[in-house]
Structure 1
Amino acid sequence: MNTAYLPSCCSPLNDHWPLPHALPAVQLISTRFSPELLDAEDFSRCAVEPVRGVAKRQTEYLAGRLCAREALMRLTGISATPACGEDRAPQWPLGMVGSITHGSGWAGAVVGNSTDWRGLGLDIEQIMPASRAERLAAEILTPSELFRLETLPNEQRAQRISLIFSLKESLFKALYPQVLQHFYFQDAELLSVDADNNVRMRLLIDLHADWPAGSELAGQFAEFDGYLLSLVSIPR
C-alpha cells in the first residue's frame, strides 16, 4: 500500500490558502476530484478504508481523506487518515482538531493542534440559483436573518442565503466535537459580515455549559470559481 499514491480522480494536492485571513498553526489542503475517473483499486492503493455508495460519494470521501492525511502530515510528520466514527464525523488523532468538506468537485481539509484550537469547521458550497435559495431560505435563516435580506436584489439574496447555509455548516463542524449534540440551522444566526469577509455568529440555544445561548463565534469566507468556502475557527 502506498500512502503517497495520488489517484487520477484527484488533482495534485494544493496547500493554497484561499481564505482572506491566515490562521497560525493551521494547515489547509485541497484538491479537485472527478468521479468518472475513480478506479476500483484507488482506495487500496491509497491505503484508505473504502466506503459504500455511488462513484460520487466514494470519490469525494477519498479526496477528503487524502487532503486530511496530507494536512496531518504537514503538521505532525506522521501519516494518519481520520477514520469515520459512528456519527460519521472524522476521528482525528489525539491532540489534533480538524474538518473535512467536499462538494461539486472540490474537497478540502483543515487541521490544527488542539493546544491552539478548540474547534475548526470548514464547508464548501456552490452559490445557489436564486430560485433554489428562495425555496430553502425559511429552513436555513432565522426570522431576523430573513428580515435583514428583504431589501437585497435577488442575486445578492441568493449569495447571502448560500453564505449563511455554509457558515452554519461550518459552525456545526467546529462545535459538534465539543458538545456531541446535534443542532440545526435555526439554532444560530449570522450577526455581521464586514468588508474583509469576517463574520460574527451567535448561538440561540444552550448547547453546553461552555456554549450557552448568546455565545458569539468568529468566521471568515471566500468566493472563487462559483464556490463559497467558509471557516469557523475557535481558538483555545
Structure 2
Amino acid sequence: MSITVALPPHPVCCSPLLDHWPLPRALPGVQMLSTRFDPSLLDIEDFQRWGIPAPEAVSKRQTEFLAGRLCAHEALRRATGVASIPAVGEDRAPCWPNGVVGSITHGAGWAAAVAARAEQWRGLGLDVERILVSTRADRLAGEILTPRELENYGDLDDSQRATLVTLTFSIKESLFKALYPLVNKRFYFQEAELIHHDDNGQARLRLLNDLSQEWKSGAELEGQFVQFDGYLLSLVSIAR
C-alpha cells in the first residue's frame, strides 16, 4: 500500500516526472521515472525543501543530482509504497533501502531512475548518454572497445561508428552499475565485451575477467537499449 505524504513543490528546474518505459522489454516490478532538467533554473533551496544534501559542485552537477534523486524518490514509492531519497555511499554510489535494488542516471538535460524489490531482481544498471559525434567516437574507441569489438570497426560509416561506441560505452556502464553491488569490485571497459546487439534493442555482454566466485570470466548477461532525441538509454538487469 502506498503511503501518501504531502510533498514539497516540484523544482522548476525539472520537468514533471514521467512514468514510462521507453526500452523494448518491460521488466516485472521495475519502476522507471524520468525528467528533463535545466541548470539555469536551479533554486538551491530545493535541496533543503526535499531533504537532499546539496553536492559541492557547479550548478549543472547539482541540478542533475537533484533530478536523479527526485526520480529515485518516486520510483521507490511506486516499487515499495515508501518513498525515500537514496543517500550517497562512501564509494559515491546510491545507497538503496534494504530489500530494494535500483539505479540512477543523468546527463545532458535528462535524468531517470529505476527501482524494484530485491526479491524479484538482484541488480539493475541504467545509463543514458548523448550519441557521440563520429570524431569523438573514433578517439574513444580504443579505450571502450575490446580488440574483438574493434575488428570490423573500420568498415562502418560515421553514424554506425558513433552509435556503436555510444552503445558499448553506455551498456558497459549499465553492466557496472548492475554488478558492482554484487561483486564489490571496480572493473573497467576492457573487462567485458558486447557480444550481441540488434535492431530490436536487445544486447548481450560477456565478462572477460573473474569478478567474484559467482561472476567469472565467460559469464553472460542480458541488456537492452533504445535511442530517442539524440540520447541512448541502456539497462542491464539481473533477475533473482
1:38 aligns with 2:54: no
Q: For residue 177 of structure 1, what is the amino acid of its counterpart?
A: P
CA shift for structure 1 position 151: 1.4
Moved more, 165-174 or 48-57: 48-57
- Match for 2:222 among 218, 223, 232? 218
Distance 1:38 1:2 in 2: 22
Provide the TM-score with structure 2 as the length reference. Answer: 0.96
Query: What's the counterpart of residue 156 of structure 2?
Result: 152
Alignment of 1:63-212 (within 5 A): 63-212=67-216
CA shift for structure 1 position 2: 6.3
Distance 1:231 1:4 in 2: 30
Task: Work out whether residues 100 and 108 of structure 1, in 8 Å CA contact, stay in contact via their aligned partners in 2.
Answer: yes
Give the aligned CA root-mean-square deviation in angstroms: 1.1
User: Could you say what secondary structure the match of 2:151 adopts?
Assistant: helix
Query: What's the counterpart of residue 232 of structure 1?
Result: 236
User: Could you say what secondary structure the match of 2:19 adopts?
Assistant: coil
Task: Work out whether residues 65 and 82 of structure 1, in 8 Å CA contact, stay in contact via their aligned partners in 2.
Answer: yes
Alignment of 1:2-21 (within 5 A): 3-21=7-25
Q: For residue 172 of structure 1, what is the amino acid of its counterpart?
A: F
Q: For residue 124 of structure 2, what is the amino acid of its counterpart?
A: L
Distance 2:222 2:190 in 1: 18
Task: Work out whether residues 122 and 239 of structure 2, in 8 Å CA contact, stay in contact via their aligned partners in 1.
Answer: yes
Moved more, 17-26 or 146-155: 146-155
CA shift for structure 1 position 49: 1.7
CA shift for structure 1 position 4: 4.2
Query: What's the counterpart of residue 54 of structure 1?
Result: 58
Distance 2:158 2:191 in 1: 25
Deviation sequence 1:73-124 (CA, Å, 0-9, x none): 0111112110000100000000000000000000000111111111000000
User: Could you say what secondary structure the match of 1:123 adopts?
Assistant: strand
Distance 1:101 1:3 in 2: 23
Q: For residue 102 of structure 1, what is the amino acid of its counterpart?
A: H
Deviation sequence 1:169-222 (CA, Å, 0-9, x none): 000000001111000000000001123111010000000011000000000000
Task: Work out whether residues 141 and 189 of structure 1, in 8 Å CA contact, stay in contact via their aligned partners in 2.
Answer: yes
Q: For residue 93 of structure 2, what is the amino acid of its counterpart?
A: A
Query: What's the counterpart of residue 23 of structure 1?
Result: 27
Q: Which runs of 5+ in 1 are unaligned?
A: none
CA shift for structure 1 position 3: 3.7
> Structure 1 runs of 4+ off > 4 angstroms?
none
CA shift for structure 1 position 155: 1.2
Distance 1:115 1:148 in 2: 41
Task: Work out whether residues 98 and 109 of structure 1, in 8 Å CA contact, stay in contact via their aligned partners in 2.
Answer: yes
Distance 2:57 2:228 in 1: 29
| Percent identical | 61
Task: Work out whether residues 103 and 115 of structure 2, in 8 Å CA contact, stay in contact via their aligned partners in 1.
Answer: yes
